[in-house]
Structure 1
């Protein structure tokens, strides 16, 4: 039973990892507060689920492009310095969100523009940030370090939306956005004192950036285990991501109270937090591919049930199940990728992981907004869950290397090199 709980040894053994964890946790909390605040502000400005879905598209487009660029930069430059500068730029944009809310500008175009700039900055630094853990921890602790990061993310999802609902109701939009601005300051502290981290073996600088991007994508495409993990995640997120439907469902069933809207996202985090606390069991599993497939399937079924739920307690319970499944899926995928990817391409593969893990849900939110406008929000929720389940089943049926993938001795004793199924 003790081995089932989250392994906190990375926090005890590495001061650099501990600072990174604190800063990343603060940034995640602030962004959760801001995400709910943006959804609420766009809904108040437009009253349209389609425009709420456009928020996902505004995140996704710069994220896809700039994350790939960031992956190349992470394999060419000092990763710590890249994270510091991009975090600083994101902090400045968070102050812009505070200003437009405080001045009550009421401009949808300005709001979306600031969001696009912020997403550009965080996307440039995201691949480099993902590569820091394998450099700060020994291979035997990498899985635990990833799980602890995801645990803090789930805690942020639990607390952030609830804080956002209260902040909006009691202090207004500017107060809610100010939380994110303060969180970015803590995030800067978390990375500023890290040592310099240049790639162990940088690519040939005479090769063009576009070719370097193609090399990273090529590694993903020809490594069936890696590609299968990504396709599983894309199926589950693009086809079933529910966030854009939350304001409309909240309006239809619960009168549009911002506190209830916060509970929707917090319920996802409750399940994720419980699963994160038990992540020791996840990171010690050998069949990580099979675990990811099952977890993704549970996520899809739970979200399909949300559209059919007739009461608030049942709806929140299903969202909690979805959150738990999402945590297991993400930790399984991230651990698998670290074991299957050498450091020489880790930045570029991490950029693909960032696109899949973050842009995928944003595209899914846009898809949800379109479906919610064409159908009822409930039908869009259930239909998306069923479509996603079909996609996950298709990956499981056609990608045997992912189903059969095993770590030779388990993440606790892995040597950190690439692993073949």
Structure 2
């Protein structure tokens, strides 16, 4: 470890990054934003299911967000390497906020249009896709490198805490009010809480791009266009560790993300607050995992830990689909959430510490496409498979396939299993 950086105690979450004022503000803002967004994340599929009565239409919400993620995630990553990341965050956050207000307006006006919900979901995804690379790529700029895993753990824990409380509160809202009034309240709360994110972003210092010596000597200037994106992709395809870490996440999310099935599954438990518990369950586990995550920064075989976490995720998801009790289903989904927290922290940390800063935004853009796009493909797969077979078959089969593929990937691709941070390799020499 670097001088002045003490080891965290035992298994408790490492809070040292909160001593950095800039990080502490962004942590508060991101946590409030994610808590608010969960109201919309529950309200949109609930409203879509109320309008259409079809899990496939709920799954199409994932597809609606996928194309904007592919385009604007890559573009946003290139932009984050060229322009001031604070300014980029302010602009992209404004787009997301405006979309939430539009969702509120259509609900208040009683517009029962599945196509409008798809369109607004796509616009919201575009705003998220632009902001996410900048938001995550600033972490190594505002905390010391040895604290990056702890900072990522704190970020994921705060977001999952919002993911616990938000859906639960949304479930209470859906239980108290009718579906129409419930989604209106949910959208309004999301819009209100998003102001905290604006405050935190506004208080950020300027974060201009860093030009590496190699880049400054190059006749080509950094670009936010296709050339800049291609430069990042060229670097990515030469790095097996990064490619494999992206691949294992795609496997986990495409095959084992069951959230498109939650509205249908909740009906067997009486609907209402049950849907809130299902949407909260994974986040509950992730929050518990985060609060007991002091060990995460001490793991040296980060690639192996990533593979193991994805295997546990897939098995827990598969078993939860067999549960006939709401609380057993919630418990198994929570176990999956704990595994997801571990895999998410290592994926993010590997990407942030492996990539040089002048390429970090572009690689974070690809990371955003994978991390946010994978679950949307998973929504489509889960919904379509459920309509063709059954909710249980889609749910259980997807989890088991994900676990099996993760094992195969780990056994046939040793680069990721053998990966350790550069600092640990240097300490061994």
Are 2:101 and 1:86 equivalent residues in the alignment?
A: no
Runs of at least 4 residues of structure 1 off by over 6 A?
Answer: none
Distance 1:120 1:47 in 2: 27
Alignment of 1:230-249 (within 5 A): 230-249=246-265
The match for 1:196 is 206
Partner deviation per Cα, 1:329-348 (whole Å, 9 max, x = no partner) = 10111112222111111001
The match for 2:51 is 45
Which residue among 355, 359, 380 is the counterpart of 2:394? 380
Contact 1:233 1:357 in 2 (8 A): yes
Gaps (5+ residues) in structure 1? 415-421
The match for 1:177 is 187
Across the aligned residues of Structure 1 and Structure 2, the Cα RMSD in angstroms comes to: 1.8
Which residue among 329, 340, 347 is the counterpart of 1:326? 340
Which residue among 373, 378, 381 is the counterpart of 1:367? 381
Distance 2:340 2:222 in 1: 41
Contact 2:42 2:170 in 1 (8 A): yes
Partner secondary structure for residue 4 of structure 1: coil
Partner deviation per Cα, 1:59-93 (whole Å, 9 max, x = no partner) = 11211111000011001100110001111121111
Distance 2:153 2:343 in 1: 11
Contact 1:283 1:335 in 2 (8 A): no
The match for 1:278 is 292
Alignment of 1:23-62 (within 5 A): 23-62=29-68
Distance 1:85 1:387 in 2: 40
1:234 shift after superposition: 0.6
1:408 shift after superposition: 4.6
Are the structure 2 counterparts of residues 206 and 197 from structure 1 closer, same or farther at C-alpha, using a change threshold of 3 Å?
A: closer
Partner secondary structure for residue 154 of structure 1: helix
Distance 1:390 1:69 in 2: 34
Distance 2:269 2:21 in 1: 46
Gaps (5+ residues) in structure 2? 1-7
1:392 shift after superposition: 0.7
Which residue among 358, 370, 374 is the counterpart of 1:356? 370
Q: TM-score, normalised by structure 1?
A: 0.94
Alignment of 1:6-405 (within 5 A): 6-12=13-19, 14-171=20-177, 172-201=182-211, 204-205=220-221, 209-251=225-267, 253-255=268-270, 257-405=271-419
Aligned length: 411
Distance 1:410 1:118 in 2: 40
Q: TM-score, normalised by structure 2?
A: 0.92
